[in-house]
Amino acid sequence: MAKGLSKFELTQRLKKITDLHLQGKDVEEIAKQVGVSASQVYYDLAKQKKRWQESIQYNTDLVMAETLAELDVLKKTYWMAWERSKSPMQTKSRKVSQKADKANGKSKKSEDDAEKQTAQSVEMREETREKEGNASFLKGIEWCLNFRVELMGLKKINIDLVGDVEVEIEA
């Protein structure tokens, strides 16, 4: 700690030096305005730049971790959709037909009963068809894999789920 300055005062000085630097002031002018030596300004600016780098690295790592986790969720979703798209398709149908009891072209009717006499037949049918699956889900998986490779700086590995894997590593 500087002579007699509290942590708050040091923080305020560093903020003022940083603000003046960002305004384009040179070291001598900053030193004069803040009331410290030029070497102190250099020291404080170096300290601030180190903080910025650490903050950027932390934030970059955090964003990278979150993005990779989101990609994992997206890839799993594509895989589940792909599996569902391949599931056999089952259809069930029911056909009901009614036939009137007819004699001589007319419906038989009981003289006491005015209702028609009908016979019902119900035909049930079940059909199962295999499906090939929706290839757009595979394209989504492929995109996730390629994006992960690019994001991690391993470019250029091109993953094509339908064909081959091409590897070209950039140094």
- Looking at the domain assignment, is residue 156 inside a domain? no
Same structural domain, 13 and 54: yes
> Which range of residues forms the domain containing residue 110?
88-130
- Looking at the domain assignment, is residue 119 inside a domain? yes
Report how far residue 161's alpha carbon sits from residue 139's, in angstroms, rounded to the nearest whole number: 8
- Looking at the domain assignment, is residue 109 inside a domain? yes
Question: What is the number of domains present in the chain?
Answer: 2
pTM for the structure as a whole: 0.48
pLDDT tens figures, 113-149: 545 555 677 788 888 888 888 989 999 998 998 888 8
Report how far residue 59's alpha carbon sits from residue 64's, in angstroms, rounded to the nearest whole number: 8
Same structural domain, 50 and 11: yes
What are the residues whose beta carbons fall under 8 Å from the beta carbon of 129, sequence distance 6 or more? 88, 89, 91
Average pLDDT of span 93-109 = 62
Q: Are β-strands 157-159 and 165-167 bridged in parallel, bridged antiparallel, or unpaired?
A: antiparallel
Cis peptide before 156 (omega within 30 of 0): yes
